[in-house]
Amino acid sequence: MRLDFQGRVAIVTGAGGGLGRQHALALARRGARVLVNDLGGTVDGSGGSATAAQAVVDEIRAAGGEALANGASVTDFAAVQAMVQQALDAWGRVDVLVSNAGILRDKSFARMELADFRLVLEVHLMGAVHCCKALWPVMQQQKYGRIVLTTSSSGLYGTFGQANYGAAKMALVGLMQTLALEGGKNDIRVNCLAPTAATRMTEDLFPPDMLAAFSPQAVVPAMLVLASEAAPTRTILCAGAGGVEAANVTLTQGSYIGAGPDAPEQLLAHLDAVRDRAGEQVPGSGVSQGANEMRLARERTRGAS
């Protein structure tokens, strides 16, 4: 089955270059009308120009597609609301959000200024929140929506020098988990994409002989699946160089420790068993943790009787 976006409208943020540009071009090639958003700033978020977004719009139009440019900062909720209204005024609906806008202000935590920590969270996390919040009533009313949030292995697993970026990217996973649950009744499916690609943010990290393999285009198939009508929900796909993996936040079977005065010592003694990944699960929601602890308590009570 070929993924088809005919009749769909997509907003892609941070789409003036790199991954976002490839996402916008791919959606347009498959029939979507695309609002291309990009502030046009530098990697660290400074500056701004509508030139980058317009250049991608020109590419889409030259290929016979429909597109609009938008230069709003995703940190400005009023501007994001106006961006959504721009798409609605032109096309009457918005079906897909690919939240891709981001910046880097890397530094070891000891040397990082709090202002740089806050700004990275503001762009990555609150930028995605602003877009989701502005689009949520639209998607609820039309009873259809596909939201792709851009997370990162830095959030899932950590990267030296990226405490701000990693915190923001893992926060997006938490946002996905709840929005997917709340959006289910209106067929709003929310997923995360963790890309590995050589872009202006990351190209210095790759050996020269691997730059071509890790082109942004290699991440696009995972985005298209997560943005499609057949998309899953509450899924984290990691993609790069043609490989795709799924990441999960899991819960082990755990051990009953009790709440007695020696509970800390009991936990230390049984920590390996608590961390044992045999039989771990992917919880259906946050209440699963409490349910598992209730199971352990009941098993202990039955065993003591």
DSSP percent split of the chain into helix, strand, coil, nearest 5:
50, 15, 40
| Residue that the structure tokens 């009873």 belong to | 143
Is 253 inside any structural domain? no
CB of 107 within 8 A of CB of 129? no
Q: Are residues 61 and 195 in the same domain?
A: yes
CA quadruple 129, 130, 136, 142: dihedral sign: negative
CA–CA gap between residue 67 and residue 21 (Å, rounded): 12
Each residue's pLDDT tens digit, 203-226 = 566 556 555 666 889 999 999 999
Q: Are residues 272 and 243 in the same domain?
A: no
| Identity of residue 17 | G
Is 256 inside any structural domain? no
Could you tell me which of 97, 76, 95, 94 has the C-alpha nearest to residue 85?
94
User: Which residues are tagged catalytic?
Assistant: 165
Q: With H, G, I as helix, E, B as strand and everything else as coil, classify residue 176.
A: helix
CA quadruple 132, 135, 136, 139: dihedral sign: negative
Each residue's pLDDT tens digit, 149-193 = 999 999 999 999 999 999 999 999 999 999 999 999 999 999 999
Is 255 inside any structural domain? no
CA triple 87-88-93, angle to 5 deg: 105
Q: Spell out the per-residue pLDDT of the chain, length 305, in tens.
A: 799 999 999 999 999 999 999 999 999 999 999 999 999 865 655 655 679 999 999 999 999 999 999 999 999 999 999 999 999 999 999 999 999 999 999 999 999 999 999 999 999 999 999 999 999 999 999 999 999 999 999 999 999 999 999 999 999 999 999 999 999 999 999 999 999 876 555 556 655 655 566 688 999 999 999 999 999 999 999 999 889 999 999 999 999 999 999 999 999 999 999 999 999 999 999 999 999 999 999 998 887 66
Domain span holding position 192: 9-247
Q: With H, G, I as helix, E, B as strand and everything else as coil, classify residue 244.
A: strand
In angstroms, how far apart are the furthest CA atoms of the chain? 76
Domain count, the chain: 2
Could you tell me which of 144, 112, 14 has the C-alpha nearest to residue 70?
14
Q: Are residues 267 and 128 in the same domain?
A: no
